[in-house]
Amino acid sequence: MRARSELQLLLLRLCVGLAFLTQAAPKLFAGVEARAALAQRLTTLGIPHAMQLVVVAGVVEFAFGLMTMLGCATRFAAIGGALSLCASAYVFAHPDLGLWALACASFALSGGGPWSLDRWLTADSADTHS
C-alpha cells in the first residue's frame, strides 16, 4: 500500500511540474511575437515592464517546473510555484490556476517523496556522515 502512495506522489509531482513547463514554454520558446502578445495583454492590465516580466515569468515557471518534476529543492519550488500561480490567477482571473496552486502547495508539506532528488541527496549525505 505504501508503494502506491509513493507512486501517487511521484505522479502528482510530475503532473504539477509538467503543468509549469507547458506554461513556461510559450513565454520562452514560442518566439518574439508570442511574448509580445502576452506582454501587450499585461500592458493593457496596467502592468509595467511587461516584456521583461514575461521573460522572467517564463524562466521562473520553467525552473519551478523542472525542480518539481525532479524533486529538487521541492519545498522551495512548491512555495514559489504556488505564489506564482496565485499571482497569475489573480491577474488573469483564472480560478483553475488557484487549484494548481493548491496542488503545488501540497509539496511544501510533503516534500518530494522517496522518488526525488531531495531524498537521494539526503540519503547520500547520511551515508557519508555515518
Q: What average pLDDT does the segment 110-122 reach?
A: 91
The C-alpha angle 57, 63, 64, rounded to 5 degrees, equals 90
Strands (E), 1-130: none
**pLDDT band at residue 125 using 50, 70 and 90 as cut-offs:** low
Q: pLDDT tens digits for 50-65?
A: 999 999 999 999 999 9
Please give the C-alpha separations between residue 122 and each of 11, 27, 91, in angstroms, as whole numbers. 21, 34, 38
Q: Compute the average pLDDT of residues 84-106.
A: 89
pLDDT value at residue 124: 65
**pLDDT above 90 for 4:** no
